[in-house]
Amino acid sequence: MRRNLQAIESPAPFEDKQHASLITLSHRNVRPNVFHNCWAEPSTTAIFRWIRGELIGKGSYGRVYLGCNANTGEILAVKQVELPKKQFEQTNQQMEVANALKFESETLKDLEHPRIVRYLGYEESPESLNIFLEYVPGGTIESCLFQHGRFSEGLTKSFTSQILEGLEYLHCRGIIHRDLKAANILVDHSGNCKISDFGISKRVDQLEAARASTGMKGTVFWMAPEVVSPPKSSGYDVKVDIWSVGCIVLEMWSGKRPWAGQEVIAVMLKLHKDRLPPPIPKDLHLSELAISFRNSCFASNPAKRPMAAELRRHPYLTPVPDWSF
Catalytic pick among 16, 110, 179, 241: 179
Q: Look at residues 200, 199, 250 and name the one whose alpha carbon lies nearest to residue 222.
A: 250
Question: Does the annotation count 197 as an active-site position?
Answer: no
Residue 86, annotated ligand binder? yes
Task: With beta carbons less than 8 A apart as the criterion, state whether 286 and 253 touch.
Answer: yes
22, 45 contact by CB (below 8 A):
yes
Round to whole Å and give the CA distance between 14 and 16.
7
Interatomic CA distance for residues 157 and 151, integer angstroms? 10
d(CA 241, CA 235): 14
Q: DSSP letters along 257-300, please?
A: -TTTT--HHHHHHIIIII-PPPPPPTT----HHHHHHHHHHT-S
Name the phi and psi angles at 208, rounded to 5. Answer: -65, -25
Pair 290, 253: CB distance under 8 Å: yes
Please report, in range form, the residues annotated as the binding site for ATP. 86
Please report, in range form, the residues annotated as the binding site. 86
Catalytic (active-site) positions: 179
